[in-house]
A and B are shown apart, each in its own frame.
Chain A
Amino acid sequence: MSAQDIDHPSPEAIVLATKPAVMPAPPAADAMRSKADLIDLEGVEVTYGRGAKALKALDTTTLEVRQGEFVALVGPSGCGKSTILKLVSGLLEPSTGVVIVGGREVAAKAVQVGMAFQNPTMLPWLSVRDNVMLPLKIVVPYKHQFRAKRKTEYRDKVEALLEQVGLGGFGDKYPWQLSGGMLQRASLCRALIHEPQLLLLDEPFGALDQFTREELWATLQDLWQTRKPTVLLVTHDLREAVYLSTRIVVLSARPGRVIDDTEIDFPRPRTIEMTFDPAFVGITQRLRGLIFNMRSQIGKA
C-alpha cells in the first residue's frame, strides 16, 4: 500500500460528500474542506525529554484521516500510538511538524473531540450519570445551559445514550459498583455525549476479557453507524482493528513511523462470525506478519 491510495476517495467518503447534511456545519468558505482531511499530521516528530534523557517516540510521521473514517492504529507497544492520540487531541505539542485538525492547527480547537482511554478514568466521586455528563459541563455550547438543563434535557440525553450501550438504569451507580466492561461502556458514552466530530480511543477494550471485548465491538460499531464520528482507534488486537475499522495504519517500532496503510471494506454491520472468514483472517495474518517482523528485528538489534 502506498500513500497515494489514501487520495482516492473511499465509498464512504463519496457518500458523505454527497450528503452534506451529515456534516457538522463547518465554518463558511470551508465547503471544499468537506472532502478533505479531518486530521493531517505533516512531518510530525515527537521527542520526550531533553539532553541525555531525550527519547524520540515518533519519527517523521505523515498521516491523513478523512471525515467519517474509522482508522485503527496498530503497532508494537511503545511505538508512539498514544502519542499520536495526544497530538490530535491537543494534549501534546509536536517537537517538529504541524498537526492540523479540522483545517486548522490543533491548538485552535476547530473540532470537538471525545476521548476514551484503556483505564476507564471515571471520576470516582461522581455517579455514572454525572461522569457521562461531564463534557456537557465543559464544552461549548452545552456548558452555557448546563445549570438550567442538567436535571432535564441533559439528563435525558445521558439516559438515552446509557440505554443504547446497555447501561439503562445504571446512572445512579458509582464507578466502583460497575464491572470493567460496564465502565468502558460508560466511558464510551462520556466520549460521545457532546456529539464530537472526532472520537479518539486509546486501547479502550485492552483490559477486558475476550467475550466482553467482542460485545463492546458490536456496541462501538453500532454507535459509529448511528453517529458517524471520525474515529481514531489505538489497539493491539488485530481482529478488533479489522472488525471495526475502515482503514488500518501500522506503525513501526519506536521511533514510530507509518509502514503500512490498508483499507478494510467488509460490509457492515460486521459480525463475530465474519472474523473467521478466510479473507478476514488473511488480513489479520498479513498485519501480524508485519508487526512480528519488526519485533524480531528489534530483538537482533
Chain B
Amino acid sequence: MGGNGESWRQRFASTALIIGFFLLWEACCWLFHISDIVLPKPSQIFTTLYLRAPALWPHTVQTLYTTLFGFVLGVIVGVALGVLVGSSKTAYDTAYPLLVGFSSIPKVAVVPIFVLWFGAGTVPAVLTSLVISIFPVVVNVATGLATTEPELEDVLKALGAKKSEVLWNVGLPRAMPYFFASLKVAVTLSFVGTVLSETVASNRGIGNVMMVASSNFDVPLVFAGLIILAILGVLLYLLFAALEWRLCGWAMRKTDLAAMG
C-alpha cells in the first residue's frame, strides 16, 4: 500500500480543518459579542450535548431508526425499479422524463400529504425517508444499466447467456459504482426528510427536539440537534463509502486494490 503516508496526511488535514472551523466559530462569537440566542458558541453547544445526552439519546435512536427503515425500503424499491427501467433502452427512454419530473419535486412537499393520510407520528417520517431515497437510486441504477457498453454484454450473449445471467454478471456489477454514488446522496437526503417530517408532525425524534427547543428559545439545544444530525450523516456516509471501496474499488482504479486482494 504505497499510498498510506498520503492518506494519513489527508486525514490529518481533514481533522485539522474541522477543529479549525469550530475554533474560528468560537473566536468569532467572542470577538463580535454574538448573543447566545443568535449563534451559541461551540463550547456551549458541546456542553449542552454532554449534559443532555441521556435525554437526547432516545430521540437520536428514533431518528436514526426511522431514517434507516425508510432508507432501506427505499433502496430496495429503488433498485427493483431501476433494474426494470434500465434493463431495456426503450423502457429507459420512456421512463426517464417521468423520473426526472418526480425527482425534481421537493419531496418534503409530500410530508403534509402523508400526515393527512397516516396521521402524525413515525409513519409519515418513515415514508418521507423512503420516498426521498427512492429516486436517486432508481435514476442511478437505471443509468448504470442503460449505459453498459453493448460490447460487454455481447461477450456473454455470444456465449448463449440468458438475460438474467447478463444482468447478474455484467449489468449489475457495472451499475454498482452508480448505485453507491446514489446511496451516499440518498442517505443524507433521507435524514433531511425524516427530520423535517418529525419537525412538522411527530412528538419524538431529533426534528421534534429541535422544534420544541426553538420555540423555547433554547438555541444551544437546537444546535446540539444539528450537531447530532451532522454526526449521524457523516457516520452513514463513511459506512457507505467504505462499502463502496470494498465492492467497487475497481471503478476507482487504485493500484492499492491489488494489495487488498
Q: B257 contacts the other chain (Cβ, under 8 Å)?
A: yes
Asked whether A115 is an interface residue with its Cβ less than 8 Å from the other chain, the reply is: yes
A55 CB to closest chain B CB, in angstroms?
Answer: 17
The answer on a CB contact under 8 Å between B158 and A200 is yes
Q: Which residues of B contact A190 (CB under 8 A)?
A: 155
B176 pairs with A125, CB closer than 8 A: yes
Whose C-beta in chain B lies nearest to the C-beta of A140?
B160
- Taking a contact as CB atoms closer than 8 A, the residue among B156, B159, B258 that contacts A174 in the complex is B258
| Chain B contacts for A112, CB-based, 8 A | 160
Q: Is the interface of A mostly helix, strand, loop or mixed?
A: loop
Q: Given the complex of chains A and B, what is the CA–CA distance between A135 and B149 in angstroms?
A: 18
Contact B160 A119 (CB under 8 A): no
State whether the Cβ of B154 lies closer than 8 Å to any Cβ in chain A.
Answer: yes
B154 touches A91 (CB 8 A): yes
A138-B160, A172-B258 known; A124 and B250 CB under 8 Å? Answer: yes
Bound together, the chains give a CA A124 to CA B170 distance in angstroms of 10
Nearest-CB residue, chain A, relative to B151: A121
Q: Are B258 and A91 within 8 A (Cβ)?
A: no
* Nearest B-chain residue to A109, judged by Cβ: B160
Interface of B: prevailing SS: helix
> In the assembled complex, which residues on chain A have CB atoms less than 8 Å from the CB atom of B154?
86, 89, 91, 115, 117, 121
Contact A121/B158 with A173-B258, A174-B250, A177-B258 known, Cβ cut-off 8 Å: no
Chain A residue numbers with a CB within 8 Å of B161 are 138
Q: How many residues of A contact B (CB 8 A)?
A: 27
Known: A91-B154, A173-B258, A174-B258. A123 touches B160 (CB 8 A): no
Decide if A134 touches B257 in the complex (CB within 8 Å): no
What are the interface flags for B142-171 relative to A under an 8 Å C-beta threshold, 1 for contact and 0 otherwise? Answer: 000000010110111111110001000110
Complex Cα distance A194/B149, Å? 23
Residues of chain A lying within 8 A (CB to CB) of residue B34: none
The residues of A that contact B155 with a CB separation of less than 8 Å are 115, 117, 121, 123, 134, 190
B173 CB within 8 Å of chain A: yes
Residues of A near B113 (CB, < 8 A) are none
Contact with B along A129-141 (1 / 0, CB 8 A): 0000011011100
- Further pairs besides A89-B158, A119-B151, A174-B258: 20, Cβ < 8 Å: A113-B158, A115-B159, A117-B151, A117-B154, A121-B151, A121-B152, A123-B152, A123-B170, A123-B173, A125-B176, A125-B248, A134-B155, A134-B159, A137-B169, A138-B161, A138-B165, A138-B169, A139-B160, A174-B250, A177-B255
The 9 closest A-B CB pairs, nearest first, are A89-B158, A125-B250, A115-B158, A138-B159, A138-B161, A125-B173, A121-B151, A109-B160, A124-B250
Which B residues form the contact surface with A (CB < 8 A)? 149, 151-152, 154-161, 165, 169-170, 173-174, 176, 248, 250-251, 253, 255, 257-258, 261
